[in-house]
Chains A and B, each alone.
Chain A
């Protein structure tokens, strides 16, 4: 099948996934639609240079990631990230999890998750997963998505958002702690 048809087929079948991926990070459904539209156009225009170096899925997502980063940059000029979620800055997301000596409180000590890989195949799991991501404070979520969904290095994120590296590590730690806890309680609940 010619490459432009493959791209069309992929975007046709996975459009909803692409929009959700963008919307998770942009928190703006209309903007997410626009970004996916632009991604499709860019993918079609670049089809000639794609040349099967990677799968169509990887190729389309790599374009989508660049478009999301561009959209985040444009919007940052309107809403500086430093103003997002400043009120929850002091909440370290860990209260109650550890005892006074810094060891797991008995009721919060992590237990083995049953068959986590099987969960990935379940649509319901992803709904819970996304709800948990949405639950994170906006600033925390922004940094976490840049790291895990867009795959940026910490140094790039720090530079982009003008925050110091150690702060970035703290934010990522809180995001993982919060996401793990939410999934533990709502999906893997024992």
Chain B
């Protein structure tokens, strides 16, 4: 199974490129079982939203 270090790498890349189907499935499976990574993904989404709101997007 994918570990958290690899999962965090994919969660970052997911914001920069479309993930392959296999990557998406592996990540989803990992996050179903890992509360830490589940939170991490939400927090990355928050960081992006915060930065975009700062940059005049509305």
Contacts and interface: CB of A to CB of B under 8 A. Distances in A.
B36 A110 contact: yes
A108 to B, nearest CB: 8
A150 B54 CA distance: 10
Nearest to A149: B55
A109 B35 contact: yes
B32 to A, nearest CB: 15
Given A169-B13, A172-B12, A179-B47, A98 B5 contact: yes
Given A102-B4, A173-B8, A113 B16 contact: no
B1 to A, nearest CB: 10
Contacts of B8: 173, 177
A180 B4 contact: no
B30 to A, nearest CB: 10
Interface of A is mostly: helix
Interface of B is mostly: helix
A85 interface: no
B58 A57 contact: yes
Given A176-B47, A180-B44, A55 B13 contact: no
A120 B53 contact: yes
A111 B37 CA distance: 9
Interface stretch (A30-38, A40-48, A58-66, A69-77): A58-66
Interface of A: 21, 55, 57-58, 60-62, 64-65, 94, 98, 101-104, 109-113, 116-117, 120, 126, 129, 147-151, 154, 168-169, 172-173, 176-177, 179-180, 183-184
